[in-house]
Structure formats: structure tokens, C-alpha cells
Structure 1
Amino acid sequence: MKFTDFNLKSELNKAIEAAGFVEPSPVQKDSIPIVLAGKDIVAQAQTGTGKTAAFGLPLLNMMKCDGSVEMVVIVPTRELAMQVSDELFKFGKFLNIKTATVYGGTAYARQIKHVESASIIVATPGRFLDLLSKKQITIDPRFVVLDEADEMMDMGFLDDIKDIFNYLKNREQTLMFSATMPLPIKKLAEKVLNEPAFVTVTKQEMTNAKIEQSFYVVEEYERDDALIRLFDYKDPSKAIVFCKMKRDVDRLATYLVAQGYAAKGLHGDMEQRQREEVIRAFKSDTLEVLVATDVAARGLDVKGVSHVFNYQLPFDSESYVHRIGRTGRGGMEGKAVSIVTPAEFRSLQKIQKDIGVKIESRIIPNKEAVKFKAIDGIKADIAAQEIDESVIEIIESMKDQFDLSTLTYKLATILLKQNNVKGKDNIGKTKKDIEFLLERALKGGGGSRGGRGGHSRSRNRSGGNRDRNRSGGSRSSGGDSRGRSGNRSASRSGGDRGRR
């Protein structure tokens, strides 16, 4: 099936073609005809399945573009609000559709002004309800979408959403998208939707089949060494490292910068301006590593993320799915790597059971394995390298001092030194250790209850802003990071990587 089969407006087909979309995803294929038929819908689908296009394209197709607010999309986080707004703007750009984002941490007056000229509002519940209840905006949208409904419930927004619908009574269609369907979400659907159709993406489709999933077992004190060793071995082009707690994000981002990586943190305690700057830098490849809490797990769509690293396992299976969904996007392959302690085995087993996919256990490579991998990479780089005429003079000037073989050996040695592997030789558990731990876990022994590693979940309400983010911690250090230029390894420390 092709997008052209939906018989959308030519302006939308033009935008779809510009975005490089050809074949609709399962949730798009099933949802778009239902929405075009004018029916309410409940769609259960995970992140990365193309939900924004699933509701955005058919609703844009039906909009009158009469200058009023016709569509409202309610989302749990500011990051997702910006992401959805950007996508809807791109889809509607040839229809001259304007979008406005409404979320906490930004001046009211500016957002109200943007709403006045918008056809679409993408909003987080707290700020949106404030504007409605204080009558700072008066709107009568035809279409209302709840995106990531279960996440909004987890963040405590369920009552706010119910109140919001009291102000949006004349809507023609209501659409709900949720990764899971707990009882409160089902009851909400019964209350605000009118005889909805149901679309479900099966468990087998929960995670992208093109994402290679693996885990490595270490002791708690080995997490940092394991992460650096895996970076050395896997050599990610662009990576997101997920932590549970904000304080871990701050510490780890600072540590990675000290090791020569262009890295920064992202979490809910940062000012909105800081968060937007970090996201822009990551999208533009100024950063190679983004260290984040689950605030970045939903809705952050960045092209070219080759690897996702779970520095710690998340609190639940849904968050795991959202995290790894940041890689393998747009039909590309991706890799999801989890660093796990023996105490987290129960959490790991639950995740595997919930998503219906076996996560492969692996051993962290020793220094020799990393060295050989680096040599293979150097050989490939040399074979692919085109000769720059400016280097011919350098080689010719050294021929009297060294024969060609010696010169070649010396140049190869320089390249190999740039991939110097430091740290202890062996990190983490052996294959035999892992087999024993897996066997013990299957028998019900070992592991911590819930796999939370001693941390407790906290909920942050900052400065009266009702848009909340989970897990406590300190503000980001916002430290300097080193950008990449040409050869990745050379850019990290001038010559020798010297990162451990």
C-alpha cells in the first residue's frame, strides 16, 4: 500500500513525498481510513510507529483552513509538543497551516499570541487547562487528539484532561493514541469518545525488528567502564544514553566530556531554553552523545541515532520500548544496548516477556578485541580514502629518510595509537557467570524486587508549572563539549584518545 492510495489532497501528497514517506506503517494503514471516515478512534501503538502521521494526515485533509483553531493535540511533555508541532507543520506547509505549541516554562503572552493565528494547537495538559480556565484563549476545535494517553495518566494529568474536555464540547472527532490501555484510560475513552473504532499494533510489532537488542552484565561499580568500553568497540556515530535519575545524567554527561566525548545531558530540571539548545545541537550533529532521563524517550525524533544505551534499565517495559525506539527510525537499522547488574535480572526478564522479544546476552569485549576491531576499521578507512594531492609532497619529502615500507608502518602506528584502549582488560561478567545468573533468575532466586536498583521514583513539580517530569535530581552542568571534525577519534583528544 502507498500513501497515494488514501486519496489525500495534492498539497498533503506533496508534503509526504518531500518527507520521503512511501509506504504507511501498520498504525497509519489501519488508522487513516477510519479517521477519514469521520469516526472516533482508539489506537494502541508504541512509539516510533508513525502515530503523528496516522492522525495528522487525515485531520489535515479534512480541515477547512478558515483561520480558526480546528485541531488540538494534547501530549504529556514539552519535548513531544515541539516534535508533534514540527511534524504537523511540515505535513501542512503547502496548505499554509500554522501551528502553536502551548506548554509550561514559557511566557503566557507569547503563546496566546501564537494561538490567535494558529489552526492547530499542540499542548501539554497543565498550561492548556490554565489558559482555558482563565479564559485567556477561547477556541472551539473540530478535532481533539490525545497522544500518549497512558503517559499523561502516569504523570498525574488524568483529572486535567477530564477538565479540558469540559471546554471542548463541540468537537466532531476525538482520537486517542496510547501505548498501553490501563483501566483508567479505558474509562476515559468511554467518557470522551463516541463509539470509537479500535486499532491495535500487536506485541510482535511493539519493537522495530531492525533494532538489534543486547545486554551486558556488570557490577554496579563497573557501569562507567563498561559504557566507555562499549563505545570503543561499537563506535556509535550518534548515541543516546538513558539514565533513571537526573543526578546520574548530570554526572555521566560531565564524565563523558572529561573522556573526550561531545556529550550533554537532558532532563526535566533544565530550563526550557537549555533543553531546546541541547536538542538542536544533537540534531545538528554538534553532539555525538545525548545523556538523558526518560524525558527524551517519547517523541524525540532525531535522524541517524545509531545506538541507544540503557546505562540503567528503566522503571517499566513501556519506557524500554520508548527508549530503544529512538534508534532504527525511518527504516534504518539500530542497536539497543543495556548495561545490567545481577540485581536487575527480574526487570530484564519482565521486559523480555512484555515485548515478546529475546534480548541477547553478550560479554563486554576485552582490550584485545577492541584493538582488532579498531584495526579492521582503520583498514577499511584506508581502502576507502581518496588521495589528497597535498600529501604527495609530504611523502616525497620523506622518501630520502625512510623507505616506503617503514613510512607506511609509521603512519599505521599513528592511526592505531589514536585508538588506544585503556582501562582494565576484562569488564563485567563472563559467559559462564551470565548463564548461572540466568538459570538462577528462571528459578526465582536473586534479583531485587522491581529491579529499581535502590532508587525510588519521585515526581517533580517545579516552580508551580503543572507540566511535570518524573525522577528527581540536580540541574544539568551544561559543561563544554568537544565537537567532531573529520576523523572522529582524532577530534577527541588531538591525537591519542586518552579517554580512560
Structure 2
Amino acid sequence: MAIFSDLGLSEEQLTAIHELGYDEPTPIQEQAIPVVMSGRDVIAHAQTGTGKTAAFALPIIARIKPEKVPQALILTPTRELAMQVAEAFFRYGKHAEVRVAPVYGGQPIERQLRALSRGVQIIVGTPGRIMDHMRRGTLALDNISVVVLDEADEMLDMGFAEDIEYILQQTPAERQTALFSATMPASVLDLALRYTREPQRISVVSETLTAPRTKQVYYEVLPREKLDALCRVLDVETPGSAMIFCRTRAEADHLGESLQGRGYLAEVIHGDLSQAMRERVMKRFREGQAELLVATDVAARGLDIADVTHVINYDVPGDPESYVHRIGRTGRAGRTGLAISLITPRERRQIQTIERTTRSRILRMKLPSLADVAARRREAFREALREVLTTGSLDPYVLMVEEMAESHEVTDLAAAAFKLLLNEAEQEDTLVSVEGDGAGTEPGMTRLFLDVGRLDRVRPADIVGAIANEIGIPGRQIGSIDIYDRFAFVEVPSEHAPRVVRGLGGVSLRGKPVRVSFAKPRG
């Protein structure tokens, strides 16, 4: 497997790719980038969502000249795809200072006129609006050196054949032409052969995929609502062991810390973690110390984890193969599993592609309401209550009920107790030495004592944030956090422990200055 630095890309592009969190090229990127970079014409047969945008965007950016004139033209069948492709060029080219203009119908043409008048190097648009600008004289194609037909089969299906040919005829004859298509019917191949010169043929098409016997659903939410939506789904589903997939390392880190801050037992795994850290994370997840494992696709490869009840696509995967690999981690060994995807309105097309490729149905579900979450919590409480009735030692509590029953109805007593437990955060009556017992501290980690706790309204996120902001230790390096009524314990890397004790002392958590010390083993 190649890496991006093997493909002849510039340092600026490699920096942008690294910042986006991508680890290695997909097969279409590995094969197409060097060919497009060389200037040869290309006919590429690749399924939608296999990473083909980067396969042509990265080499085009590498070859753009400083002049602020249109040099590359990318034709797409829909305005949604035009927006996606333009955004990809912005991301990949942010360090190369390229100018990109999306041009499509449904957007005020005045905005496009202003962008074109300032000078752009890359045009991404739909055939109809491109032709509008050509006829107005606001878009000249004299300096176009490369034309890309993205999703060529869809453009022909939508009746753009004549428009495409008209546009191609107005570009320089010596241009480079690249055609990318999910299918290769005769009409697409005929168009490609007429407008390319000795093209390099590339085909990266998997056999029809079969999704495992797992129930598959999706929720459609706005991007800004995705975290809240995930939390509602988690509260209703109450997964015993779930893997949550993100597209990049940065997104995985951010989501993991957000979930920890909301009180979920979550761990994060991705390519930037050391082997020791990966093993520590996996040990916690396998032993049930963490219920949620936030992961990237690359980091999750090769992980053998039994009893995963849920797979959640926080970010929709870029290709159907990745989707099948993800959801195949649940529903194993005859067990039932649930695969959940959170999509934005613009990602409906990706879900349709996955359905078509995997020949499976992904059901659209209505996002759980706050009432649904409250009802699920009450049901969980009932289940816990039944278990206590069956296995618990109730004698001390029976005596309390008998005493209070002299002045209150037993039904009212039970209702009051339920209200108290359901409306307040459940407080475990755990006897713990203030010094801590030191047991269970992981190798390379040191356990610290903080004199603040639940009664001070302190949350895991407060502790993680204080250590990250004041000491500069990334949140992912902080170990387990145990919060009790009046104190808390946190594990930090041993090499940083003295600095944490010095630097955190006196810092306020929830308005209360905190004292920090080493947790001493009982002796």
C-alpha cells in the first residue's frame, strides 16, 4: 500500500492531507494521482464514494500556475456534487493558495460574477450554468489545460450530452481530459474515446458487496445538531458495547472528548496513538471499562472485538466497502446487531449509493425526542429495580419503609423514592479511601487526588479541560477519571504527574479552587 508522499504531491498538499487526518490513499487515488499528475488523459471506472475527488483534485492543484485565469474545469451533474467538489478543492488547496469558484444553478448569478471577476484558477460547475457564463462572456475557457467529467454516467443520464460536447469544443484541443464514472455504459465510453487522446484506463470496482445480517438504520440531522443527535440515540439505545466511526483523527479526538465531557464512558483510537496507548485503550474497551470506542477506519483495521452490539457511523464512510467493513463488526456469531448512520441532508446520495451497492435496505428513522429519552431512562430504571428485587439484600431498606409507613402510604413512599432517583444523578454509596488504593493504575500512569467532586458539580470534562489547558497535555493521554461526592481521582502519564500537581493546584473547577496531590497506596 502506497502513502501520499509516494505520489509526487507537493509539501503544501501533504500538509493539508495530514491536517485533514487522512492516512493513506484509496486504490483509485493511488492509481489515478500519478497519471493525472503526468498530464495523460484518463478514463477511470470507480464507484461513487471511493475517494475519486481527491484522485483528480490533488494533482490538478499541484499543476496550477500562479496566473488568476481559469486553468481547470470540473463538470458535475448536480449542484450538490458541485458544492462538494468545490469544498474539497478548498480543503486540499488551502496551503497552495488556489482560487476556486463553484458555478451552478440555484445560486444568485451575481455572486458568481463577482467571484469570476476577481480571478479564479479552478471552475467547478454544472453544464447548464457553465454555458450561461460562456454565453454572457463572463467565463473564457481559452486557458483551460485540464477538464474533468465527474460522474459522467449521471450527466449523460440527465441529458447533458450535447451541453458537455459544446463545452469541450470551446476548450483548447491540447487540453488534458479526465473522465470519472461509476458505471461505463457504451454512451460514456463513446464520449470518452471521442474527446480523449490515448487515455490511460483505470478500473477500481469491487464485486457487489453483501451487508451482514445486521439491522441498518439512519437518522438525518443538520451538521450542527449531530452531537446532540448522537447523544439522544445513545441514551435510547443504551448500547453495551459500541464502535463509533469518524472520518479523520481530528474528528475522532473532538468527538471522544465531547462524549467524555457529557459523562459517557468513551475511548478514542486512531493512527496517532502509540502502540502502548492503543493497547491501553483496547484493554479498557474489552473489559467494559469503556462502553464506546470512537475510531477511524485505519485505526480499526485488524481489531478483533467480540460482542459489539452497535456500530455508529458518526461520519458516513466515503465508500460502500468501508461501510460494510464497519458494520460487519456487529451482529457476529449469530448475535443480532444494529448499524446506525447519522447523515446530513447533503449525504442522502451516499446512503442511496451504499444501498444500491450492498443490495440492502437502510431504514430512515425519526430522531428520538426528549420524551423518548426520558421514557427509556424510566424503563432502564424498572429493569434495574426488578433485578434488585430478585437478587438484592433488602432487609435494611424494608425496615426503613416499615418505619415511614406509619405516617405515609407505601405507594406514596415508593413514588417519592422513584422521583428522587430519576430526577437526580444517581449517587453510588461507595466507600473509598481518600488516599486511594493504587490498585488498577495502568503502567506508565500515576493516580492523582483532587479535593473536588460531584457535590461541586465537577464533570470529567472539567478535569480534562483543566489539565489540557493549564498543563498542555492532550485529552487523549489522560487516563481514567473517577468522581465521587467530595473528591475525584485522575490518572495522568507518570512523566507529567509532578507538573500536573504543581500547575493544577489553585486552579478553579466550577468556581472552587482545587488541591491536587499524589494518591497514596493504603498500607
Q: Given the two structures, how large is their TM-score scaled by the length of structure 1? A: 0.49
If you compute each CA radius of gyration, which structure gives the higher value, 1 or 2?
Answer: 2
Higher relative contact order (CA 8 A, sep 6+): 1
TM-score by length of structure 2 reads 0.47
